[in-house]
Amino acid sequence: MFTGMFTHKLLYTVAAVALLGVLASAPAGAVFNSHRTTYLTFSKPFGLPGVSLPAGTYTFELPDPDAAWNLVRVLSRDHHKVYYAGVKQISQRPAGTGQNVSTVPSAAPTNIPTPVKAWYPQDEQTGRQFIY
């Protein structure tokens, strides 16, 4: 009887250690991205309120999603330079816009950078509308 009880306890202990090992090694991508960090690459110059930026890759994020859920920050890809920070209106993703579409451009003359109308974090229905 003692051997059977010892075997069950040993089995439960091994199973618990194995489960902890699996959970500890879960991929980082499985962690929720609370800042909604999105890397966007623009092939042409584009505009945000008060700033024009050249083509390139930029980081769009919510710097403080808990206290300032409507504040958007746009940084260099390496996060060393802030190009834009501002409070935006919450906006619902337009019907027919795919879940992988992150920005909605506005119409603009060909000689000025295309203004970005809104940013929608990937796979979310709610985004941030830029006010010009």
pLDDT interval class at 101 (50, 70, 90): confident
Helices (H) and strands (E) in the chain, counts: 1, 10
pLDDT of residue 57: 97
**Pair of tokens at residue 68:** 């300032």
Of the candidates 20, 38, 14, 11, the one whose C-alpha atom is nearest the C-alpha of residue 118 is 38
How many residues comprise the chain? Answer: 132
Cα→Cα distances 37→2, 12, 51, Å: 55, 40, 20
> pLDDT tens across 44-84, in order?
999 999 999 999 999 999 998 888 888 999 999 999 999 99
Cα 29 from Cα 31, distance rounded (Å) = 5
Specify which residues 74 forms β-bridges with. Answer: 60, 84
Q: With beta carbons less than 8 A apart as the criterion, state whether 47 and 113 touch.
A: yes
Of the candidates 97, 91, 98, the one whose C-alpha atom is nearest the C-alpha of residue 131 is 91
- Residue 20: pLDDT over 60: no
How many other β-carbons are positioned within 10 Å of the β-carbon of residue 36?
A: 22
